[in-house]
A and B are shown apart, each in its own frame.
Chain A
Amino acid sequence: MLLLDCPWCGPRSEEEFACGGEGHIARPLNSENMDDAAWGDYVFMRSNHKGVYFERWRHGLGCGRWFNIARSTISHEILAIYHVGDAKPELPE
Chain B
Amino acid sequence: MANYSIFTLARNALRRHRDWPQAWRSPKPRPSYDAIIVGGGGHGLATAYYLAKRYGMHDIAVLEKGWIGGGNTGRNTTIVRSNYLNPESAAIYDHALKLWEGLSQELNFNVMFSPRGVINLAHDPGEERELMRRIYANQLAGVDAEWVTPTQLAELCPILNLDPNIRYPVVGGTLQRRAGVARHDAVAWGYARGADKQGVDIIQNCEVTGFDIQAGRIEGMRTSLGDIRAPLVGVVAAGHSSVLAAMAGIRLPLESHPLQALVSEPIKPVMPTVIMSNKVHAYMSQSDKGELVIGAGIDGYTSYAQRGSLPVIEETIRAVVELFPITSRLKMMRQWAGIVDICPDASPIISDTPIGGLYFNCGWGTGGFKATPGSGHLFAHTLAKREPHPINAPFALERFYSGALVAEHGAAAVAH
Interface bits B293-306 vs A (CB < 8 Å: 1, else 0): 00000001111110
- Tell me the B residues contacting A by CB distance below 8 Å: 240, 242-243, 246, 251-256, 300-305, 309-311, 344, 400-403
A47 near B400: Cβ-Cβ < 8 Å: no
B300 near A18: Cβ-Cβ < 8 Å: yes
Shortest distance in angstroms between A21's beta carbon and chain B's nearest beta carbon?
7
Residues of B within 8 A of A73 (CB): 256, 302-305
A76 near B400: Cβ-Cβ < 8 Å: no
Residue from A36, A53, A74 in contact with B401 in the complex, judged by beta carbons closer than 8 Å: A36
Interface bits A13-38 vs B (CB < 8 Å: 1, else 0): 11100110110000000000000110
Residues of B within 8 A of A13 (CB): 311
Residue from B255, B305, B402 in contact with A48 in the complex, judged by beta carbons closer than 8 Å: B255
How many residues belonging to A are interface residues under a CB distance threshold of 8 Å? 29
Given contacts A14-B311, A21-B255, contact A45 B305 (CB under 8 A): no
Secondary structure call for the A interface: mixed
CA A41 to CA B300, docked complex, whole Å: 22
Shortest distance in angstroms between B344's beta carbon and chain A's nearest beta carbon?
5
Shortest distance in angstroms between B384's beta carbon and chain A's nearest beta carbon?
28
B311 near A19: Cβ-Cβ < 8 Å: no
A76 near B242: Cβ-Cβ < 8 Å: no
Residues of A within 8 A of B403 (CB): 36
Residues of A within 8 A of B304 (CB): 50, 73-74
Given contacts A46-B255, A48-B242, A48-B256, contact A19 B301 (CB under 8 A): yes
Q: Would you give 14 A-B contacts (Cβ < 8 Å), ordered by A?
A: A1-B310, A19-B301, A22-B302, A36-B402, A45-B251, A46-B251, A46-B252, A48-B252, A48-B302, A49-B302, A50-B242, A50-B256, A50-B304, A73-B304
